[in-house]
Amino acid sequence: MTLALLGLALALAIGAGCRVLDIPLPAPPKLQGALLVVAMTVGFLISDKLLG
């Protein structure tokens, strides 16, 4: 749980840093790409819970 919170905080910090420095976000620009990233992350977390 702590590792997930650390990952979320890191992601938010990278996003904020990209916004402040006017660097393009390292993320898909379309909704379908963002949903694919979310689906892959959820799949990874579920399989980690089931196998671990």
Alpha helices in the chain (DSSP H): 2-20, 31-51
- Number of folded domains that form the chain: 1
Mean pLDDT of the 18-34 span: 78
Averaged pLDDT score across all residues of the chain: 81
Query: Model pTM?
Result: 0.50
Q: Domain range for residue 38? A: 2-51
Contacts of 4 (CB under 8 A, 6+ apart): 45
pLDDT at 26: 67
